[in-house]
Amino acid sequence: LCVSQDGVPLHAYTCTHVLAHTRTHVCAVHAYTCAHVLAHTRTHVCAVHAYTCAHVLAHTRTHICAVHAYTCAHVLAHTRTHVCAVHAYTCTHVLAHTRTHVCAVHAYTCAHVLAHTRTHVCAVHAYTCTHVLAHTRTHVCAVHAYTCAHVLAHTRTHVVQYMHTPAHTYSHTPAHTCMHAHLHTYMHTCMCVRTHIHAPARTHA
């Protein structure tokens, strides 16, 4: 279990949530996982054999904390305690590139990382990051100050289109404007989800 400095168990916080709030760095990766403590204490996270969450998921494909056949999103949204391997997909592949810190969040978030793994997810309302990773092979936008954590915090289901309100823009074109589900707009160019897929999970090395 991840705990805060005073020993209190933490809840639904992810490294992207921290990025969205601090817009700078996530804690040093050595002996840290990118799962919970970050948003709550903004200092440290559960130790995981000197690996980062991304490093463990991408290279050892084992479990962080105690997980069982869950996708990262399901765990964060439902158990609020664990993170798990996702068929070689990781939301924090950024760590694998830097080997030290999660880069500044500006245009370098989960979606941006997924662009390197050929498995992307658009940061849309009602849509969980790793649920899509495990079940679809689609594209999503590289977002700025709008991360998976926002999506996870607001939803717990699967891929859907944007809310049908004037405040949201959705398109099948290569670029469009990403907006927060609560009308806090984030003007960014993105590659959006091209389809609503319910395909079986596929593993990519």
- Render pLDDT for 177-195 as a digit per residue (tens, 0 to 9): 333 232 222 222 222 232 2
Number of domains in the chain: 1
- Is 143 a member of any domain? yes
Distance CA 192, CA 123 (A): 8
| Three-class DSSP category at 117 | helix
Domain that holds residue 26: 15-189
Nearest by Cα to 41 from 50, 32, 49: 32
Is 5 part of a structural domain of the chain? no
Q: Is 195 domain-assigned?
A: no
Of the CA atoms within 13 Å of residue 168, those in its CB half-sphere come to 15
Question: How many angstroms separate the CA atoms of 27 and 48, rounded?
Answer: 14
Please check whether residue 63 lies inside any domain of the structure.
yes
pLDDT, average across residues 83-89 = 27
pLDDT digits (tens, 9 = 90+) for 4-34: 445 544 333 333 333 233 323 333 222 223 3
Residue 201 domain-assigned?
no
Give the position of tokens 């806090």. 184
